[in-house]
Amino acid sequence: MSTFKGGVHPPGHKELTQHLAVENVPLPSLFVVPLSQHIGAPARPVVKKGDSVLKGQMIAEPGGFVSVAIHAPTSGTVKAIEKRPHPTLMAGDAIVIEPDGEDRWAEGIGLARDVHAMDRDDLRKAIQMAGICGLGGAAFPTHVKLSPPENKPIDTLILNGVECEPFLTADHRLMLESPETIVLGMKILQGILGVDTCTIGIENNKPDAIEKMREIVASEDGVQVYGLHVKYPQGAEKQLIRAITGREVPPGGLPMDVGAVVQNVGTAHAVYEAIMRGIPLIERIATITGHGVREPKNLRIRIGTPLEFLLEQCGGLTEEQVKVVMGGPMMGMAQHNLAAPVVKGTSGLLVFPMGEIFLDEQGPCIRCARCVDACPMHITPCHIATACEHEQFEEAETYGLMDCIECGCCVYVCPTRRHLVQLIKYGKSFVLAARKAAQARKK
C-alpha cells in the first residue's frame, strides 16, 4: 500500500469518543457569529442591530469571490455587530444574536432543489451562498476549489475521511451515522467537476467506517474506498494525493496542478444539505474531548455557540488549570478566551490538564535531523526555523519556508523541543507582509 515520505505516529486517543453517537447541543443564551470564518475576504453584514432574524436567514453576504455567506443559527434578535473574541484572530467583527427560543426557519429554507435544472455555475453559486467552506479545518471556500481554470483539467476527486489528528472523531461518526448523505454530496461534487471516478480515503484505524462506506458505494460505478496506513499527517491534501494516486504536488503548487481536488467528507455532507435540502451551513459536528473535560462527546453544534457553553454540556472541567485547544493537538490553536465561538472550521475542542503539557524549550538545535526525516514536505525545518529566529527571511525562503504546512511533525520529534512551528509562522507572516507591501507600492 502506497503512502508518503515522512510523518509521525502520535498516540491516537480516539477511544475516548469514537464509540459515542453524535448528540445535539441545546441553544445557548447568546450566539456570536464571526464574519471571518473562512480563508479569504470576511463576509459583509446584511442585517443591523435590532433586526429580527430567522434560522437559516443570510445575515452576511460574501465579501468577494474568495468568500462565503453566513447565516443565522437560530431565530432571534441582532443585539450587536461588534468586535468579539475569535478563536484564531484574538478578536474580530461578529454578529451577536439573542435567540427567541422558537428556532423558526426562514421562508424557503429546507425546500428541495431540482439539481438536474441547475448547471455547474448554478451549483457553485448555490454552494457559495449556502456558506460552505472546507470542514476539515482549513475552511477554504468550497466553490473556489470547484472552479479550476480551464488549463488545469481535473480527473480525480478524493473525499477525505482520514481524520489523522489524534483525539478527533467527528468525521468518523459522520461516516458511520450519515454515509448516504456523504455519497449523495460526492455525486454533486463529481457533477460540478465533470469526473466519473472518486476515491474515499479512510485510515485503517476506522475499520467500521471503511466497511460502512464500502457498503454504501457497492453499487456505485467508479467509486472506491481506500484504506490507508495510520500516519500523521495523512489527511493533508498533498500527502493524501500522494498516498492514493502516487502524484506529487510540486512545491508551491496546488492539487489542481496534478488534476486532483480533495474535499472533506463533512464538506460533501454540507453540499448535500445545501443543494438537495436547501439548508445552509449553520451547524457542524465536532469532538469535545481530552482528559481535562469530564464527559467527552461528539456534538452537533450551531455555528456561533460559545466554547464555554460547549464545555458545560460536557460536564465541565476536571480541574481548574487546563489548556483548551481548538482543532487537533498537532495543528490546533490554544484558546485565550472561552467566550470565543465555534466557527465553521471547528473540528474539535481538546482540553488538557496542565500536567500533560510541556511548553518549555529545552535547548538549541543539536543537528540530529529528526525533523528533516519526519517532514512530509521534504524541507529542512531546523534550518528554516534558525533563519527565521535570526530574521534572515530570504534565506528561510530558499530552504522552503512557504512550503511548510505547519503540521507540527518536526516539533513532535525534536529532542530539544524547539519552537519550530512558531518560528516558521513568524517568518511566513513577515514574508507575506513584505509581499503585500511590495504589491501596494506597485499600484
Q: Whole-model pTM? A: 0.94
Rg of the chain over Cα atoms, rounded to whole angstroms, equals 21
Q: What is the pLDDT of residues 110-141, one digit of tens each?
A: 887 788 889 999 999 999 999 999 998 789 99
In the sheet where 223-228 sits, what is the strand order? 223-228, 198-203, 156-160, 260-264
Of the pLDDT bands very low, low, confident and very high (cuts 50, 70, 90), residue 182 is very high
Which sign, positive or negative, has the C-alpha torsion 156, 144, 165, 402? positive
Task: State mean pLDDT over 172-180.
Answer: 98
| Whole-Å CA distances, 73 to 62, 140, 256 | 17, 20, 33
Q: What is the pLDDT of residues 245-274, one digit of tens each?
A: 999 999 889 999 999 999 999 999 999 999
Higher pLDDT, 2 or 204: 204
Q: If you classify domain 130-277 with CATH, what class do you get?
A: alpha beta
- In the chain, what are the domain boundaries? 130-277, 370-442
pLDDT (0 to 100) of residue 2: 67
Partners of residue 71 on adjacent β-strands: 58
Task: Pick the range with the lowest mean pLDDT from 107-121, 228-242, 310-324, 417-431.
Answer: 107-121
Instruction: Give strand ranges (E) for 258-360.
Output: 260-264, 283-289, 297-302, 322-326, 333-334, 348-353
Average pLDDT, the chain: 94
For Cα atoms 270, 128, 131, give the angle at the middle one, nearest 5 degrees: 55
**364's grid cell:** 538549541
pLDDT (0 to 100) of residue 359: 61
